[in-house]
Structure 1
Amino acid sequence: MTALKFGLVGFLNTAIGYTIIVAALAMGFNDYAANALGYGFGMVMSYSLNRYWTFSCKNQRSFREIIAYLCVFSVAYLANLLVLTSLRVIGFVDQPVAHLLGLAVYSVLFYLLSRSVVFGNGGYDTMSDQPLFQHRQRANVMPLRGNASMPVNGNLFFALAVIANFTILLLFAGLAHPIVIWDEGRIIINAMEMRQSGLSLVTTYNFEPDLWNTKPPLLVWLMTGAMALLGPTEFAPRLPSLISSLGTILLVMLFLRRITGSVAIATFGGLVLAMSGGFFGEHGARTGDYDALLVFFTTGYLMLLFFALHRQRAPISWVLLAAFLGAAALMTKGVAGGAPIVGVFLYIVITRRWRRLFTHPCYLVAGLLALAPLVAFLFLREQVAPGYLNATIFNDVTGRFSEALDNHSGPPWYYLVSTFVNGRFSLGTSVLLAPFALPIANRRTRFALIYALCIALGMLLIVSITATKLQHYYLPAYPFLAISAALAVHACLIHLQTHVATGTVSPRRALIIRIAPIIMLLIAMGQSVHLRINILDPYLDYPRASYGRLLNSLKAQNAPILVLDKGTSISIDPHYSPELRFHVMVAQENGRNVKQTSDVRQLASVSPNTIVATCDQSLISVVQAQFPKLLLKSNGCVARRKI
C-alpha cells in the first residue's frame, strides 16, 4: 500500500514537474535550468505529501528528518543528472524524452531511500548524544565511541549525506573552466615540465630552476602523476585539489559524527564547508593550487591531535599518522603547513593540557618526524641548485611577513572582512556567534568547540600579522569554522530538547527554532551562488583564458600555427603567460606545429600558409592588417592565415 501511495504521489509530482520542464524548455531554458525548476517544485510538494499521506508520520518534524530528506533528494537528483548527461552525450540534447528517463530513475531511487532513511524509522532523531555520557568518564579522558543507539540505517544515511555534500561541492566548483594565470598557471607549467623531464626535487619554469615559486614539490609530483594517468588536460592537474577538498569534507563529517553521534549535524557541517566560496573557489577545490591539498593535510593532523590530547596515553599509531600528515602539509606549502599548530598550543594552554606534551615523548618524536622530510628536502634542493634556500626563506618567511609581496597588502582586519563580511565563508558573520554556545554545550561538545575556535583564532592571528595578505591564506581555518558552526547548532538543539521535555518551550516554538539552521543553509547557498556567478566566473572571462578553445578549434587545420601574445608584465618576466604556454606545450606533445611569441617583429618572417592567432586585444588589429584571410573569430580571439 505504501508503494502504491508513493507511486500516486510520484505520478502527480512527475506530471507537474514534467509540465514545468517542458514549459521551461519551450520558453528557451536549457536542459539543466529547466530540470532544476521542475525538480525544485517537486521536492517541496513531495515532502509534505509523502510525510503525511504516504508514510503517515505522526511524530513531530525534526532537524534530522529535513536534512535526511534533502540528502536523499540530492542523491536521487544526481542519478537523474547522470542519466540526463549520458543521454545528451549520445545526442538527446534538449529532448523531453531524456528528462522522462531521468525521472524514472529518480522516482525509483527516491522511493527506496525515503522509505529506508527518511520516514522508515518513524522520524528517528539522531540529534541527541546523551548516551555518550551515561557512564562516568575518568578526568581528562574523552570517550571516543559514537552514539550507541544509532539505528541500523544510520550508516546508510551517513553515506548518502557524504554523497550529497560531494555533489554540492562539485556543482559549486565546476569541472570545466580554463586555466587561470594566478597561481595555478605557473604550478601547472612546473608539472608539465617535470612530466617531460622526469620527477625531480627541482621544480622548473622555462626548464630553469624556479626561484619565484619556491614551494616544496609534493603537489607538483601529484599533478605530474595525474597527467600521466589522464593526459595533459585542464582537469588532470586540478584533480589533486578536487580530491583533497572532497577528503576534507569527509574528515569534517567524520569528526562531527564522532563528537555528536548525529549524522544531521555532520551533514550540516559538511554543507557549510562545501558551500563556502573560499573553499570551492580560487585556491580551493576549483583550481590547481597548493591550498586545497594543504587544508586536507592540516585538517587531518589537527583532528588526530585533538583526540590524542584527550587520552591519558595516546595510541602511537595516531601520533605517527599525525606526524605523517604534518610532514605532508610541510612538503605541500612549507612553513604554512605548520601555522595551525599555534591554535593547538592555544588550546592546551586554555584547557591546561600542556603537561602532556612533556610527559609523553611521542609528541616530541612526532614533531621531529614531521620536520625531517622538509629539512632533508631543503638541504638536498640547495645542493642541486644553489640559491634556493635564500629564495624560499624570503618568499615564505621574511619577505612575506615584513613586506607586501606583489602589493598584496591590507589592514589588520583584512581577513575578518574578506572571510565573514564579504562571504568567502558561507555562514558569514553568523559563525562569530558560535562561542556563545559554550555555556550550554555538554562536556564533549564544549571541548571540541573550544578546540575548533582555537584553531580558527590561532590561524587568524598568524595571517593577520603578515604584511602580505591574500584571502586564501586563511583557508586552513575553514574546516574548523564549519565545525564550530555545526557544534554550536548541535548544542542549541540539545538544549532546546531539554526545554521541550520540561515543558518550558512549546513544540510549535521548538519547530520554528529547529528550522533556523535550514534557513541558514538556504541563505548561505544563495550567497554562494551569487559569489560563483558574479565574482568567480567573471574572473575566468578574460581573452587569454580562451587559448585552449582557440587551439582546439584549429585542430583540423593542417598548417603551422604561431600564437602571438604580449603576456602580463611581472617583476621577473615582462611577457608572462603560463596559461598560453600550457596549451602550446599540450599541442606540441600531440605532434602539432604550434609556437608562441611575444615579439611582433616575428610576423615579418612568417612563412606562407602559416596561421597566426591571438587573443591579445592590443594585437588583433596588427594581425588583421598583415594577414587578410580570416579563419576564425570567437571569444575575443582571431586566427588568420598568411597567403
Structure 2
Amino acid sequence: MRNPSVRNISFYLAAALIFSMMVYNVFYHLGTFPMSSWDEARHGVNAYEMLRHGNLIVNTYLGHPDYWNLKPPVSYWAIMIGYKLVGMNALGLRLMSGICATLTAVAIALFVKKRFGSMAAIVSLLALSTSTQYLLNHCARTGDADSLFVFFFTLSILSLLASRRQTRWLYAAGLACSLAFLTKSWHAGNILLIMVLYFLITRQWESGRWRAWWRAALTFVVPVLAWAFARYHYDGFRFFKQMIGYDLLLRSTRPIEGHIGDEAYYGVILVHFFFWWLALLVGIMVISYMQGVRLLAFEGADHRRKEDVIGILLWICVPLLMFTIAKTKIRWYILPVYPPLCLLIGICASQLWRKGTWGARGLLLAGLLFVASFYETNIQHYIHHPKPNFELALLQQTAQMPVHGYELFMYHPLHEKGRWPQNAVLTAELANDLKPRHGGLKTFLHTSRSLLLVKKAWFSKQLEHKYHLSVLASNRWGYILEKHA
C-alpha cells in the first residue's frame, strides 16, 4: 500500500491540475465574447441602472421599473460588484458568475473528498470542469443569474447533508436557500422540496431536532422578508403580483414566450450536452453489476453515506421532475442538476476503482480520459473562437468620444420606432452611458445631444446630406451619425 502522505500529494497535484483547467475554461477570453440579449444583457442593464441610480432594491430597464425580469436583487448585486472591480464591460458583467462557478467546483471537491475519498473528488471535479452546458450555456461564462443560483443551491444541499453530523450546518442550509431565492426566485422551491423529502425519507423527526429545523426555517425566512419589506416600500404589491401571477403561475401552467417542450425535453437536453458522461456512468454500473460490485452500498460505519446518496439522488430527481411538470420549458432551468450528477459519477467511479478488478480499472481510466478529452476539446474550440457582433462593436467605439449621456436613436425606414435589442441597450449604456430611445429619425432630429444608429443597408449619402448629418463612427455593420453643430 502507498504511504498516506504520497496519496495526499497525488490528490492535491491532480486536483490542482484539474482546477487550473476549470479556471482556464471559465475565465479565458471571458470579456471578449459579445453580450447576449437573453437574459444576460437584461440582467446587465438592470444592474447598471441600479448602480447608476443608487437604488439597490428596484431593478429598472431603460429607466423604468422592470416588471418583466421579476427576480429579487442578489444577482444584480453580484454584477454590480463585478462592474466595480473590473469596470463597466463584459468582464465586469460576468466576473462573479465565473467566480461562483469555480467556488461551486471547490465546494463539490471538498465535500466529496471528506465523504467519499480522493478518487471520487477528482472524478467529480473533472466531470464538472468539462460540463459544456454548465460552463458555456447561460451559466459560468455569462452574466446570467444561473451560476450564482447554482452556487447557492449547491451550498444549501451540501450543508443539509453535513447537518446530519453537525447541526449548525442546518442553519447554513437555510441561509443559502434564502440567498438562492433572492437570486432566482421560485426556482429555489426545488431546494425546499428536497429538504422536506430528505427530512421525511431519513426519518429526522425521530432525532428530536425540531428546534434546529425551526431555526433553519428562520434563516431562510428573515432575509426574504427583509427584501420583501424593502421592495414593498417602493411599489407596493405590484412587483409581487407580477412575480406570482406571471413568473410562477403562468410559467408553470402554460408555455409562454414560445418555450415549449414535451416530457422528454430535459432528457434530450442532458443527452445533448452531457451524453458521454452519462454513458460512462451507465458503463460503470454495467461493469460493476457484472463484477458483483455494489456501487452505492455503504455498510457499518459508513451508514451515513447512504443518507448522503439519498440527498444527492433527490438533488438530481426533484429539479428534473418539477421542471418537467412545468409547462414552460427552457434548457437552462436544469443547470442545478450538474453538480449532483458529477458527484454521482465520482462516487460510482471511486467504488468501481476501489472494488473492481485491474481490467475494470483500466476500462474506467480509459473512459475517463476519453470523455474528459472529448468535452475539453469542444470547450477549447468555443472559448478560442468568439463570434463577433459588429453592431455591438460599433457602439463600443463611442467609449472614448465626447458623447457621454447622449440619447441614442435607431433609424429604420420601415419601422420608425426602432426596436432595441437588449444587448445593444447594455452595450450603449456601458460604453458611454448612452440612452437608447424609441422614436427613430424624426425624434432624433428634434433632440439635442443625440446620436443615430444606422445599419449599412439603410445608409445613403442622401440621408447624410438631407438632414445635415456627419459620421461619428462606422464599421462593416453600419454608422453612428450626429447632427452638424
| Deviates further, 293-302 or 391-400 | 391-400
Classify the secondary structure of the residue corresponding to 1:242. helix
Q: 1:41 matched to which residue of 2?
A: none
Is residue 565 from structure 1 mapped to residue 410 from structure 2 by the alignment? yes
TM-score by length of structure 1 reads: 0.64
Between the aligned partners of 1:404 and 1:358, the Cα distance in structure 2 is: 43
Q: 1:295 matched to which residue of 2?
A: 150
Q: RMSD over aligned Cα, in angstroms?
A: 3.5
Between the aligned partners of 1:557 and 1:402, the Cα distance in structure 2 is: 50
Give the alignment partner of residue 621 of structure 1, picking from 425, 435, 458: 458
Between the aligned partners of 2:450 and 2:235, the Cα distance in structure 1 is: 40
Is residue 411 from structure 1 mapped to residue 256 from structure 2 by the alignment? no
Classify the secondary structure of the residue corresponding to 1:212. coil
Q: 1:86 matched to which residue of 2?
A: none
Between the aligned partners of 1:559 and 1:256, the Cα distance in structure 2 is: 51
Q: Which amino acid aligns with 1:278?
A: Q
| Inter-CA distance 299–180: structure 2 relative to 1 (3 Å threshold) | same
Give the alignment partner of residue 600 of structure 1, picking from 433, 437, 441: 441
Q: 1:517 matched to which residue of 2?
A: 368
Between the aligned partners of 1:566 and 1:468, the Cα distance in structure 2 is: 35
| Deviates further, 629-638 or 381-390 | 629-638
Is residue 470 from structure 1 mapped to residue 330 from structure 2 by the alignment? yes
Alignment deviations for residues 491-514 of structure 1 (CA, whole Å, 9 cap, x no partner): 111122xx45xxxx6xxx743443
Is residue 485 from structure 1 mapped to residue 341 from structure 2 by the alignment? no
Matching of residues 107-186 of structure 1 within 5 Å = 151=7, 153=9, 156-157=12-13, 160-161=16-17, 163-170=19-26, 174-186=30-42
Structure with more relative contact order (C-alpha pairs < 8 Å, separation 6 or more): 2
Gap regions ≥5 residues in structure 2: none
Is residue 384 from structure 1 mapped to residue 231 from structure 2 by the alignment? no
Classify the secondary structure of the residue corresponding to 1:440. coil
Is residue 272 from structure 1 mapped to residue 127 from structure 2 by the alignment? yes
Give the alignment partner of residue 440 of structure 1, picking from 295, 299, 303: 295
| Inter-CA distance 370–559: structure 2 relative to 1 (3 Å threshold) | closer
Q: 2:428 matched to which residue of 1?
A: 584
Classify the secondary structure of the residue corresponding to 2:479. strand
Count the aligned residue pairs: 465
Classify the secondary structure of the residue corresponding to 1:214. coil
Question: Percent identity over the alignment?
Answer: 21
Between the aligned partners of 1:597 and 1:622, the Cα distance in structure 2 is: 19
Q: 1:634 matched to which residue of 2?
A: 475
Q: Which amino acid aligns with 2:262?
A: P
Give the alignment partner of residue 213 of structure 2, picking from 338, 353, 363: 363
Matching of residues 62-461 of structure 1 within 5 Å = 151=7, 153=9, 156-157=12-13, 160-161=16-17, 163-170=19-26, 174-262=30-118, 264-309=119-164, 311=165, 314-316=166-168, 318-350=169-201, 352-356=202-206, 359-386=209-236, 387-419=238-270, 421-423=271-273, 427-431=277-281, 439-443=294-298, 444=302, 447-461=307-321
| Inter-CA distance 398–611: structure 2 relative to 1 (3 Å threshold) | closer
TM-score by length of structure 2 reads: 0.83
Classify the secondary structure of the residue corresponding to 1:582. helix
Classify the secondary structure of the residue corresponding to 1:303. helix
Gap regions ≥5 residues in structure 1: 1-122, 126-147, 568-572
| Inter-CA distance 150–347: structure 2 relative to 1 (3 Å threshold) | farther
Tell me, yes or no, if the aligned pair for 2:390 and 2:475 is still in contact at 8 Å.
no
Between the aligned partners of 2:446 and 2:354, the Cα distance in structure 1 is: 77
Q: Which amino acid aligns with 2:216?
A: A
Computing the radius of gyration from Cα coordinates, the structure with the larger value is 1
Between the aligned partners of 1:456 and 1:566, the Cα distance in structure 2 is: 49
Between the aligned partners of 1:594 and 1:338, the Cα distance in structure 2 is: 37
| Inter-CA distance 625–471: structure 2 relative to 1 (3 Å threshold) | farther
Tell me the CA shift for residue 603 of structure 1: 5.5
Tell me, yes or no, if the aligned pair for 1:223 and 1:236 is still in contact at 8 Å.
yes
Between the aligned partners of 2:398 and 2:276, the Cα distance in structure 1 is: 37
Q: Which amino acid aligns with 2:162?
A: F
Between the aligned partners of 1:378 and 1:561, the Cα distance in structure 2 is: 35
| Inter-CA distance 268–481: structure 2 relative to 1 (3 Å threshold) | same
Classify the secondary structure of the residue corresponding to 1:288. coil
